[in-house]
Structure 1
Amino acid sequence: MLKTFITPLLRCFILFFITTLSLPLSAQDNLIIVGQAIDLSGPNAAVGRDYVAGITTFFDSINSHGGIHGKRVRYLVRDDQGNPANSAKLAAELIERDKADFLIGGIGASTVDAVVATSAFQQSKISLFAPLSGVQKQHGGRVVYWRPSAEQEMQYIFSYFDKLGIRQVGIALQENSVNHDMYQYVVNEIQRRKMTLSGVVKITGNPTELSRESAKLAAGNPNIVITVADTVATGLFLKSFRRSAPKVFVAGLSLTNLDTVAELAGRSALEWTVFSQVVPNPLGKKSVVQIDHSNMMKKFRDEELSSLTFEGFLVAKTLSRAMQNGRGGRDAFAGMTGQKNQIDLGGFLMTPDEQQNRISGFVDIALFRKGGGLLF
């Protein structure tokens, strides 16, 4: 009796065990797995969430039409909380445990460095694609940047204001190892263009000192102040500087989180501020891909459009092109970065730079209009 009971039970267990093992393997054969570790709850959470929203939206759209070559895209996102060590650990798990076919980067140069240094990444055959970093560091060709470099963005800002006849330039500097090279670049560019350096404010955690230094810079009558700082430092500087100079241009780079700056400095402090942008106006309707981004965000997400949702959308569309060429690993992007002709994503044209391992060199500029909102 006992033997009769055990045998069917054992057979059921074996069948369940085999079925459980075979289902993920079968499913994974029909999936393209894209992994990403990015800040979703730390200092750059708003940036990360928008970027992820755009990427997710494009993959949702692709999957709703049957995927790529009959394979669905499975997009796995992990929150690194803005900590490079976390990002390295999570990226390694995505490679080793989740068997990611493609890996999208997180935010900042230190995060890129941490991920690339892991043994899991070093031993893999994949590239780190489209981190939100403007640093010109090649990592032996293992990192493929989608956005232009920070130097390209800064060059565009200088060229834009040079045409307006602006000659007096101030700098608001947050001193750290990341900002040192960009600060020197700005100083050299001021000299090269025969402009005048009106002064430098070092952004510290001391409000009294920052207020005093900001007032001193304003007294030097700069036409524009370039911020070499992260989002929080930019917000603190603007709050202080606007008390003395409400109508002096302040310029920053595209990875500045504008909502956070507004919270720290006040919405009115954003007037007379400009920020470089690496995508066209996300609210515009001039190209097919702008319209697609708008329509798909309405269909799949309940979030506002932003430059970063659009960048994520374009990054995912670029990645899908790499998937479609049938090549994996490090070869997936070789045809793109080495391409001599422009890449057209539906009215948005990208000019690859093989030397810098970058896909897009597009830079624009956006001005905050009175009452809020960006004017491209």
Structure 2
Amino acid sequence: MSVCVTLLALAAGASAQIVVGHAIDLSGPNGAIGRDYVAGITTYFDSVNVKGGINGKKIVYTVRDDRGVAAESARLASGLIQHDRVSYLLGAIGPESTQAILAAPAFADSRHVLFAPLTDSFAAPRGRVIFWRPSMERECQFILAYFDKLGLKKVGIVLQDTPQNRKTYEMVSEELRKRGMTLAGTVRVSANIDADARQLSGSGAKVVLMIADTIGASQFLKAFRKHDASTFVAGTSLINLATLSEIAGARATEWTVFSQVVPNPGSTASVLQSEHIDMMKKFRDEPVSAITLEGFAVAKTLVKVIQMEAAGKGGLQTIAASRTPIDIGGMTIQPSDRKSTMSEFVDIALFKRDGSLMY
């Protein structure tokens, strides 16, 4: 009898939880991004749990470190599905890890939808992945429009050569043509990065767009500033700005701008921004960043979806397909294209001389 009672108690305890699983880079090449993302997600879930959870159910957030290795992402996500019995699965960093999870038999055989990976969006079979952040195409279009309005029409490109980056490069080249802007020159991130930087500095480019990861962008910027101290250099939101400053040096970040997929994390202009600052102070001992705010916003979106599911309004796929708008506190999330991208928000952050950001 006692065994039966114990089993029933365990079953009741499990049913009183909502388990969210996450395999993500915490110690590899994008570990700084992953840690910030997880910090923001954890903070919002903590803020929900201290108020009693969702309809009395506490959120259990189970995170595994994939070290930025795609095969490890797939293995850990499979374990979260098969052994941890997660209710929801959040996505990894980068297209390789995302594709590996989607291809894993445990995922393919499940009913899970991979939610909010930190990567550019792509078409996935049967809507098995939903991207929270806007596409890289949207970010690059926003950057080019920003400089086009300033009359800066000669653009150089730094390309870190990966399949996804090559697609972005082709899109940017076409966007330049449409806008009547000029591609002044292209260099690839290589072992001879100083020569690459010197070549691009002599191209006459008024703006240099980096299509590269954090390390590649940081190394290029450091080399480029030896030859050119004042040409604008631009990058996208998945470049970790703290790491960039550390590698390239604070002086090298002057005249650099970066697209951001959330509003200013240091501002209290909206409910979302204020909540994020207040809850990070309450639950964490680390500074806020654009990535902690993105994690916070992703977690808040997921909680809203769970509440909608409980009210019989469908799951992630249904809500995404119906383009249901979700207000997360001054920021409205709504699927808007065939790639199931939930947010279209993009802003620009400019590094100031003192190393701080101006939005």
For the structure 1 residues 122 and 331, does the alpha-carbon distance in structure 2 shift closer, same or farther, using more than 3 Å as the test? farther
How high is the sequence identity, in percent, across the aligned residues? 46
Aligned residue pairs total: 359
Selected match of 1:32 from 18, 23, 45: 18
Counterparts of 1:338 and 1:117, CA distance in 2: 22
Selected match of 1:252 from 207, 224, 235: 235
Q: Does 1:182 align with 2:168?
A: yes
Q: What are structure 1's unaligned runs of at least 5 residues? A: 1-13
The match for 1:76 is: 62
Selected match of 1:306 from 274, 286, 289: 289
Listed one character per residue, the Cα deviations across residues 67-123 of structure 1 (whole Å, up to 9, x for unaligned) are 101111111000001011111011011111111000000101111100011111111
For the structure 1 residues 248 and 285, does the alpha-carbon distance in structure 2 shift closer, same or farther, using more than 3 Å as the test? same
Selected match of 1:58 from 37, 44, 49: 44
- Calculate the TM-score normalised by the size of structure 1: 0.91
Rg larger for: 1
**Aligned-residue offset at 1:335:** 4.7
The match for 1:202 is: 188
Selected match of 1:318 from 291, 301, 305: 301
Counterparts of 1:106 and 1:323, CA distance in 2: 20
Q: Does 1:277 align with 2:263?
A: no
**Aligned-residue offset at 1:135:** 3.0
Listed one character per residue, the Cα deviations across residues 158-209 of structure 1 (whole Å, up to 9, x for unaligned) are 11111111111101111122211111111122222121111112111x2xx3
Counterparts of 2:197 and 2:136, CA distance in 1: 25
Give the SS at the match of 2:118. Answer: coil
Selected match of 1:124 from 110, 118, 123: 110
Counterparts of 2:326 and 2:309, CA distance in 1: 18
Listed one character per residue, the Cα deviations across residues 9-59 of structure 1 (whole Å, up to 9, x for unaligned) are xxxxx84x5565444322101001100000011010110000000100001
**Aligned-residue offset at 1:336:** 3.3
Counterparts of 1:81 and 1:19, CA distance in 2: 41
Counterparts of 1:339 and 1:159, CA distance in 2: 30
User: Which structure 2 residues correspond to residues 95-106 of structure 1 after superposition, within 5 A?
Assistant: 95-106=81-92
The match for 2:342 is: 359
Counterparts of 1:318 and 1:163, CA distance in 2: 33
User: Which structure 2 residues correspond to residues 290-305 of structure 1 after superposition, within 5 A?
Assistant: 290-305=273-288
Q: Does 1:221 align with 2:207?
A: no
Counterparts of 1:327 and 1:21, CA distance in 2: 26
Listed one character per residue, the Cα deviations across residues 320-370 of structure 1 (whole Å, up to 9, x for unaligned) are 011112359x94124532455643211112232152212111111101011
Give the SS at the match of 2:234. Answer: strand
Contact 2:20 2:90 in 1 (8 A): yes
Counterparts of 1:202 and 1:137, CA distance in 2: 27
Counterparts of 1:331 and 1:84, CA distance in 2: 31
